[in-house]
Amino acid sequence: MMDRYLEGEPAAQLLERRWFAALRAAKGVQAECDVLLGVMELAEDSWRRARARLVELEALRDALGEQLSAMEGQHRYRPQEAVQGVGIAAA
C-alpha cells in the first residue's frame, strides 16, 4: 500500500534511494569491521606468542650472562671480544 502511494513522488523515490544507499554503505562498513576484528585477533595472538618468546629469550640471556660473569672471574673472559670475533649480528 505504501509503495503505491510513494511511487509517483520524486521526493519519496529519492528518500528510498538514499535509504538503500545507506543500507549498502552500512553493510560494507560492517564487513570491513568484521575483517578488522579478525586481523586484530590474529595480531593479538601473534603479539602474545612473541611476548612469550621474548620472556624465554631474556631468561636465557640472563642465565648466560650469569655464567659469563662466573667465568670472567675464573678465566678473565670478555664477552664483547668473543661476540666481535665470531661476527654474529645482533638480532
pLDDT tens digits, residue range 21-53?
999 999 999 999 999 999 999 999 999 999 999
**Residue 91 within a domain:** no
48: containing domain? 2-86
**Residue 27 within a domain:** yes
Residues of the chain with pLDDT > 70, as a percent, come to 73
The answer to pTM > 0.75 is no
Query: What is the count of structural domains for the chain?
Result: 1
Pick the closest to residue 65 from 50, 49, 91, 83 (CA basis): 83
